[in-house]
Structure 1
């Protein structure tokens, strides 16, 4: 019996190794920015293509929410998915795709509901201690969505599905990925479509005049995402890749259904939401130990927002009705130089530049422009002290210069200039990494990071609800962390504790003047807590795991100001059963404690627990059917007070995969 078990475990280990090799071959390595490989593969910080497929998230926000210390929320007023990492939002822990920043120039956010995951090979979340080569504004770390590249002569993946609720069929989806990899070149194309007519509300929701049935009004969206990529590898160590990517979408914004009298019910729709760009990655082996990497981008973001009179969404006659257009442009890139094995040191130097131009206007009004230029220079050193011990240190200088900032004068339909500034900041960090052997690692780090205030932070009136603050100062933080990880074959677990101290915290302060609020540097804050993740693979048939994250956020200067949208406790557990090679099931339980929805602490989103079940059956060697149930218990839950989330939803998908 013992021999049989030993053989079974050995076979499982070989299968895992083969799967890991296959997964690694699909990762677009030029899109990664790493300090150490061990940090970037921790279950606390990354998920791969296999895990994405097993949990079947709809978009990047849901995929990121699988990681401990990562919280998904919703900007109810704009129907955008938000992500917080250890309390930091997307302005403080920005999103990158293949190492290039992805954000809206005006506010620094990106709607992660719009980014689908079918083309991703890996998602990495570096917390606190982050490569300085990412550039500016990585106050709390960085999120990097790494695309896939083909690893076979011919690859074809196609998927089609629909969602069904108690109110009928409510959504459709489809995707196709095709690629080829040859000796000196590769090419790939991805097209993904999502169409939602509505999402259903749980039956425990009490209908009333604003929402008269269980079909969430104005919750429809259409989302088309495409990517074309071609790469050339003239010799070993060199690679040049050109990509064209875009998202074309439209969406509704469900109205507020809560009790806060200071939140105005808004009848909004985005008939256009588009992001298109061209991207270039290169790697050139200058000498045996000297590597030059570059990344360049030029893209644009356009949207049209229409505010209507009422729930008919047909007229725009009231004074709060308008049609607003954004026409934003970004361009820039970075140059990194890697020098390996210099007297037990690896040196990395990088320079980054990005130009942001925000153009906005309401229909019939003079456009206003805001322009910023952000630059950075960084140097990192990895000192391999001995076989098991390395010291990593880095220093970087960041600069943001305001080039133009228009303030609109409605009475004369003209613009004048806001006050503009030139902010500078330094990033410093050091970390010690110790390999204990037997796939066990221990590391401790301290990092000083900063974030420049965004255009919207400084200049927005928030549709008459806020007061601009052009004098906002740069936030800075000291992030400290101790992490232990044990990555044995059958049992893997990681534990991390952190204490982050933030100064010049930029935070919303309500009722600054009458019912108006303002973003202010509210003083000093701390974010502290811990995370643990564990996974146990008993054999090739059964595995289970989970994660827990605790976060304590406090404004030390003014404890009455609360941090919003983030629970103190998050617990996720899962069990996965592979009945045989054709049939697999996964059950997931997610608990989140209550969270504040207003900074004065008056309104909260209550705690909740949701259960999701995913199953797949291999009909043929290349054909699978997937059956998923989201929110199995039909729980009425909120990520933001006044905006209920979807009730029980069934999903059926067919997927086809061909590799030759």
Structure 2
């Protein structure tokens, strides 16, 4: 059994932040209430996260039915699995903006802390086409905070440690914000440092294992995050927000601890895992019609050092390498909607341009490889209509059309004919998909699913 001691302190308790409405994609019938009775959507609020000591997004799986924590692949990434679908079919959004590495559409959610999160909306299956493409199994939207007072702030500190001295961890976060008549400003930051993972006292080492027990070797991580949000609110309905988020991290990959002699062992360490985002969100109302837009630019830089020994010092064997990612994404989206007495219709369009660049750098016995580039564009067009047959019954009809247009895909390797290493281009193509869905929602008592 793992044993941990948790100690937490909080100060400057003048905080009463609201949900950042511009970051919400699916607006439900009882959105002004605290809880959502729609069983296909889970809303995890900041209070829920605080009570359960949830420090990063994947830990939400502990308190959400049908949602599971998934640690996958050689990159030691933490993700959320929703009813059997991974992040390629259940994409992750922050304030309605898609978040993933362009190379394979995954993202390490373990790097995303919850200090500046108002709530997390998890759609399980039936979800709005307004999200855009690749939402076969649902969608996860991380909604940030929005200030509601002239002065509010929060300071938190926590420490955690196990029976081994190498498992000490601490985290600190702060928020400070002001809400004035025509504008608001919000600044926040967090620092989380974990020396290592505590292993069970009953752990027994296999002959093939590189792990000797107590604390897991090479299992530390450090995450730093700073965010700034500037909002302009000229009236009760319109809002224009510019936000900046910077994340810098380092992480390790625990050594192999299994029993199989032929297992592929990896001695990996990421000295750099950096992500920066700038986005502009707007909402403009014209009587019963509104217009929402989003524009964003993301950068992602990643360095991975693969060694050939448990000391993480030598790189003399063929499987040792140094890899570098340099990615960026730019996108735009617009939504126009009409809200009538019985009928609501929404039209949306989304565009995203992804660029992934990777390169294996030099090691003692290898020269640096050329930089490989991948580029593609994604378009999505959607329409969603909600008709209220009565106060208790609604019909939702929606359809969308998605386009994935690959522009460039390269690899560096040996040609089959002459076995000479060189850069070559893959064939690229354009793919399309037409999607449609319908739902009938009825409430028998007003407290059940609408």
- TM-based fold match above 0.5: yes
Instruction: Give the match for residue 7 of structure 2.
Output: none
Post-superposition offset of 1:435: 2.2
Contact 2:55-2:115 at 8 Å conserved across structures: no
Aligned residues of 1:365 and 1:413 also touching (Cα < 8 A): no
Distance 1:50 1:330 in 2: 33
User: What is the aligned partner in structure 2 of residue 372 from structure 1?
Assistant: 376
In structure 2, C-alpha distance between the alignment counterparts of 1:64 and 1:99, rounded to whole Å:
20
Pairwise CA distance, 1:225: 1.1
Which residue of 404, 414, 421 corresponds with 1:400? 404
For 2:47, what is the secondary structure of its paired residue? helix
Which residue number corresponds to residue 182 of structure 1? 180
SS of the residue corresponding to residue 441 of structure 1 reads coil
Distance in 1 of aligned mates of 2:292 and 2:446: 33
Residues 438-458 of structure 1 deviation map (CA, whole Å, 9 limit, x = unaligned): 41235xxxxxxxxxxxxxxxx
2:342 corresponds, among 344, 357, 367, to 344
Pick one of 104, 109, 114 that aligns with 1:112: 109
Deviation at 1:76? 5.3
Residue of structure 2 equivalent to 1:28: 20
Alpha-carbon separation, structure 1, partners of 2:59 and 2:20:
22
**Superposed counterparts of 1:531-546, under 5 Å:** none
Deviations 1:502-545 (CA, angstroms, capped at 9, x unpaired): xxxxxxxxxxxxxxxxxxxxxxxxxxxxxxxxxxxxxxxxxxxx
Q: Residues 326-368 of structure 1: CA distance to partner in whole angstroms, max 9, x if unpaired?
A: 0011010210001110x62111000000001110010111011
Contact 2:197-2:216 at 8 Å conserved across structures: yes
- Inter-CA distance 262–88: structure 2 relative to 1 (3 Å threshold): farther
* Correspondence for 2:58: 61
Match of 1:283 in 2: 283
What is the Cα deviation at residue 60 of structure 1?
0.2
Instruction: Tell me, in whole angstroms, the C-alpha distance in 2 between the residues paired with 1:426 and 1:255.
Output: 44
418-427 vs 266-275, which moves further: 418-427
Q: Tell me the distance in 2 between the aligned counterparts of 1:132 and 1:293.
A: 15
Residue 153 (str. 1) matches residue 150 (str. 2):
yes
Would you say 1:222 and 2:185 are equivalent positions? no
Task: State the shift of 1:417 in Å.
Answer: 1.2
Is 1:423 the equivalent of 2:431?
yes
TM-score normalized by the length of structure 2: 0.90
Partners in 1 of 2:29 and 2:428 — Cα distance? Answer: 41
* Structure 1 Cα separation of the partners of residues 445 and 59 of structure 2: 34
Query: Match of 1:297?
Result: 296
The match for 1:456 is: none
**How far off its partner does 1:260 sit?**
4.2
Which of residues 427, 432, 436 is equivalent to 2:444?
436
In 1, the alpha carbon distance for the partners of 2:262 and 2:296 equals 41
Aligned ranges 1:104-503 → 2 under 5 Å: 104-168=101-165, 170-207=168-205, 210-260=210-260, 263-285=263-285, 287-341=286-340, 344-363=342-361, 364-410=368-414, 412-441=420-449
1:172-191 CA-to-partner distances (Å, cap 9, x unmatched) read 11111111111111110110
Please list the CA deviations of residues 95-132 of structure 1 after superposition, one character each: whole Å capped at 9, or x if unmatched.
00001001111111111110000111111101111110
**Aligned partners of 1:204, 1:358: CA distance in 2, in Å?**
44
Structure 2: gaps spanning 5 or more residues: 1-14, 362-367
Structure 2 residue matching 1:358: 3-state secondary structure = strand
**Distance verdict in 2 for CA 1:260–1:132, change over 3 Å:** farther
Q: 1:187 and 1:254 mapped to 2: Cα distance?
A: 40
Decide whether the 8 Å contact of 2:117 with 2:145 is kept in 1: yes
Structure 2 residue 36 is the aligned partner of structure 1 residue 41: yes
Give distance in 2, aligned partners of 1:366 and 1:84: 35
If the length of structure 1 is used for normalisation, what is the TM-score?
0.62
Q: Deviations over 1:206-238 (max 9, x none)?
A: 135612231110001110011100100012211
Maintained 8 Å contact 1:35/1:131:
no
Question: Which residue pairs with 2:4 in the alignment?
Answer: none
**Is the 8 Å Cα contact of residues 366 and 413 (structure 1) preserved in structure 2?**
no
Partner SS for 2:310: coil
CA distance in 1, matches of 2:192, 2:319: 31
After superposition, give the CA deviation of every residue in 1:343-398 in whole Å (9 maximum; x if it has no partner): 62111000000001110010111011111100000000010111111101101000
In structure 2, C-alpha distance between the alignment counterparts of 1:155 and 1:329, rounded to whole Å = 34
Flag the 1:64–1:225 CA change in 2: closer, same or farther, 3 A. Answer: farther
Specify whether residues 371 and 260 from structure 1 end up closer, same or farther in structure 2 by C-alpha distance, changes over 3 A only.
farther
Structure 1 runs of 4+ with >6 Å offset: none
